[in-house]
Amino acid sequence: MVIFKKAADLQAFIAMKRSEEPLKLGFIPTMGALHEGHLSLIAAAKKQHCLTVCSIFVNPTQFNDPEDFKKYPSTLPADTEALLNAHCDILFIPDVQEIYPDGFDAVKSYSFAYLETIFEGAQRPGHFQGVGKVVARLLELVQPQYLFLGQKDAQQCLVIKALIKQMNWEHKTAVVIVPTVRNEQGLALSSRNLRLSEAEQKQALALYQSLQLIKAAKSNNNFEHAKQACIALLQQNNCELEYLALADAASLQPLSDFDRQKEMMVVIAARVGAVRLIDNLYI
């Protein structure tokens, strides 16, 4: 695995590789503290025989909560080892100056319409603007044929697809969405889980249990009723609910009740102790 800290060095290496042979580049952007979820994206890229580029960059512009940014876990030595074991080809670990050489505001911004006003967009003002900025910059640098993203961040997947469309890059970069990796009890793996105590990890299972409960209630045709049961379950487990909603799976437009004509998704965000977690499930 080759490791680059400088954007220019990464670009020169990729250009050199491209001059040798046609490249099939698979890109996996991350914020580090890698777990099996991230590694499943690397595995998906390897399975498609991509030359695999992983970036680790904790992007300041996507944190609406400064405490969350400050406390974001960093485990670079373990991440590097995990990527080596996963046969990742290129690791890019830039600092802020490499990604935003002319400052945060110099980067072109994109509009993600209603996606910025619902669920994660509503709860985290400015978050998707930050995601758009960093992903646009990384895409320009790497120019991948494939971009691997996790289903766990379903709304982010839609935002990044919208970004690629607005960049007119649909012919250049295809998005591949990889299913959410969970622990044995169902908790979606997340870098933020590192900040949960053992007791909180158990309480956090109520998020996945809520998603399952909604899925099971689909045939009864009363979303609100099922949601009330979830609210009780979450309260019992000290999970502070931000939203639990039903949406059209393709657009994430909210639905007021189950609609059998549509593929649906349940989305949830809740705080467990000081940690904010999100999850979702196709139903």
Catalytically active residues, by annotation = 38
The answer to whether the beta carbons of residues 210 and 204 sit under 8 Å apart is no
Indicate the length of the chain as a whole number: 283
The residue (of 116 and 153) whose beta carbon lies closer to ligand AMP is: 153
**Per-residue tokens: 171:** 């012919």
Q: Point out which span in 17-25, 30-38, 100-108, 249-257 binds ligand AMP (CB under 6 A).
A: 30-38
**61 scored as a contact of ligand AMP (CB under 6 A):** no
For the segment 130-149, give every residue that binds ligand AMP (CB under 6 A).
Answer: 149
Position among 4, 25, 26, 38 found at the interface with ligand AMP (CB under 6 A): 38
For ligand AMP, the binding residue among 14, 25, 41, 234 (CB under 6 A) is 41
Which of 4, 10, 14, 37 contacts ligand AMP by CB under 6 A? 37
Q: How far is the CB of 203 from ligand AMP (least distance, A)?
A: 18
Phi first, then psi, for residue 246 (nearest 5°) are -105, 140
Q: Report in angstroms how near the CB of residue 12 gets to ligand AMP at its nearest.
A: 25
Q: How far is the CB of 149 from ligand AMP (least distance, A)?
A: 4
CA distance 232 to 226: 10
DSSP per-residue string spanning 104-155: GGGS-----GGGGTSHHHHHSTTHHHHHHHHHHHHHHHH--SEEEEEGGGHH
Each residue 149-168 as x (binds ligand AMP by CB under 6 A) or -, in order, gives: xx-xx---------------
**Both tokens of residue 235?**
């309260």
Q: How far is the CB of 81 from ligand AMP (least distance, A)?
A: 17
DSSP one-letter code for 237: T
Measured from the CB atom, the residue of 124 and 152 that comes closer to ligand AMP is: 152
**Is 275 an interacting residue with respect to ligand AMP (CB under 6 A)?**
no
As to burial, measured by CB atoms within 10 angstroms (0-12 exposed, 13-18 middle, 19+ buried), residue 165 is exposed
Phi, psi of 147, rounded to the nearest 5 degrees: -120, 120
270 near ligand AMP, judged by CB under 6 A: no
d(CA 158, CA 175): 10
Which two tokens mark 44? Answer: 């998906």
Provide the binding-site residues for ligand AMP, judged by CB under 6 A.
30-31, 37-38, 40-41, 149-150, 152-153, 178, 180-181, 188-191
